[in-house]
Structure 1
Amino acid sequence: MPDVVARLRSSLPRPSLRTVVTTPLRRRTYGNLLYLVLAFPLGLGYFVFLSVGLSLSIGLSFVLIGIPLFFVVLATSLVLVGFERRLATTLLAIDFEAPPWRVADADGPLDGAKRLVSDPALWLGLAFLATKLAVGVAAFTLLMGILVPALAIVATPLYYDTPGVRVGVFLPTELTQELSLYIPWNELLVGVSFVVRLSSWQVTSLVDAVAMSLGGLLVVILGLAVLDGFAWLCGRWARLLLGRSMLDRFR
């Protein structure tokens, strides 16, 4: 167990101020972004395909139509798993060895069916396809919650003076907080106290809009770093289920 924890710690990325600041300048960042953008629609498509295909094949198995349909779903899944491997290696720059399909060495249709059903690489691939929707939902949430609002802030100078549009920081009420620091000295209590007030602020000039845009640019850089970290996790998940590391445990 300690060896596993040590290997996990050694594989974790160690971001620094330099790596975070240079995130928008790296080509790999945009490959990660494309992978995350595609994760939700692909995951939704895989979920519909597997849930409908497997449920129909099981439900129609008593009239024998479900059995060939089941193998059609498995064979199609081989293609989808191969596509996901290529997607991970191309967009996430993840290098891993793809295990061979057992069905490739089949001596006939019956032997091919047996090899297809008994191939652990296929079932691990199906597990990856089934969890792709959860990955896609998380990616969509991060993209819409971090990157999209940040880009809207960066574009503030383009629309801040549009009629009917208000841009800024708007609070329901003014926030007031008193901060105090007291230090005992002999028989006296020496201290300082001041009041901090936070109120709404609206962009009304080009200077304010540029300041808002610069703040949004900082959020974009930090957001890209967060998305890069999530893409790193996606790559490790793909390597685990689509590579040989997990498959070797079945042998």
Structure 2
Amino acid sequence: MNRTGSSTQTQGVASAIRRFVVAPVEPQTYKNLIYLMLAFPLGIVYFVCFISGGALGLGLLITVVGLPILLVTISGATLAAGLEASLATRLVGVQTSVPAALGTFDWQEWFARPGNGFVTACKRLVTATSTWTSIVVVLSKFVFGLLSLVALVTSGALTGALLAAPFIYDDPDATVGTASELSITQYNFGPWVVDTLPEAIGVAAVGVVFLVVSLNLLNGLARLQAQYTRTLLETDTGPL
């Protein structure tokens, strides 16, 4: 019994280590990177459109056009959340349901005469809990997008500079880290001056390790975002 449990635990650790090491050659890693790359531009579009539509609708609420603008804005946020659910499912592999209002969407209801199916569809939209959690997903996407952008740019720049060491270590204008006045014309790896090929190869080896670690961290960030979206959209998808 103990041997079986120990063997299973060992296999689990070995599997986790293997997944960690092979991250650079896993197709899923690059799907996750695409998901992270899309986060910032989508976050900006969501944020600007929702804030603009919401502010305009509230400002015109005393007129006949304010309420329709708010309904369109809320519907747009729900559609955006549906897109996020699709991206989480297709790119990250986290199965995420679309908001309830989208799952029961019927064009005939929306274009029916007011007082008939249209009113019922509007009521279903504003009383579904997932409609309001969709707004949270849309607004928080900007934060996740900014975090994703910083993580991608930082990890990409550092990894590239380290891996390029054997090719640029003797370039007088190359610097990694902070250069002092005495070593401004030398390739620096932090406080160390790299001026020989073996040293440069050592820096590149560090770059390989950094690449593996950073890709695993980026994978984790993508899964975190996808799980966050899934949790919000699947929290009580029924009416309020």
The aligned counterpart of 2:24 is: 24
- Measured on the aligned residues, the alpha-carbon RMSD in Å equals 2.8
Query: Is 1:207 equivalent to 2:198 in the alignment?
Result: yes
The aligned counterpart of 2:236 is: 247
The aligned counterpart of 1:234 is: 225
Structure 1: segments with no counterpart, 5+ residues: 1-12, 174-198
Of stretches 90-99 and 59-68 in structure 1, the one that deviates more from structure 2 is 90-99
Query: Is 1:131 equivalent to 2:123 in the alignment?
Result: no
Over alpha carbons, which structure has the higher Rg? 1
The aligned counterpart of 2:112 is: none
SS at match of 1:247: coil
CA shift, 1:147, in A, is 3.4
Q: 1:78 to 1:168 in 2, by over 3 A?
A: closer
The aligned counterpart of 1:216 is: 207
Higher strand share: 1
> What TM-score does the superposition give when structure 1 sets the normalisation length?
0.74
Q: 1:125 to 1:99 in 2, by over 3 A?
A: closer
CA shift, 1:157, in A, is 2.5
The counterpart of 2:123, out of the listed 114, 120, 135, is 114
Q: 1:127 to 1:159 in 2, by over 3 A?
A: same
Q: Contact 1:46 / 1:130 at 8 angstroms: preserved in 2?
A: yes
Q: 1:169 to 1:205 in 2, by over 3 A?
A: farther
Structure 2: segments with no counterpart, 5+ residues: 1-11, 110-115, 183-189
Q: 1:139 to 1:64 in 2, by over 3 A?
A: same
The aligned counterpart of 2:67 is: 67
Higher helix share: 2
User: Aligned partners of 1:49 and 1:169: how far apart in 2?
Assistant: 41
User: Aligned partners of 1:37 and 1:74: how far apart in 2?
Assistant: 25
The aligned counterpart of 1:77 is: 77
Aligned residues: 212
CA shift, 1:99, in A, is 5.0
User: Aligned partners of 2:97 and 2:192: how far apart in 1?
Assistant: 55
Moved over 6 A (4+): none
Of stretches 42-51 and 155-164 in structure 1, the one that deviates more from structure 2 is 155-164
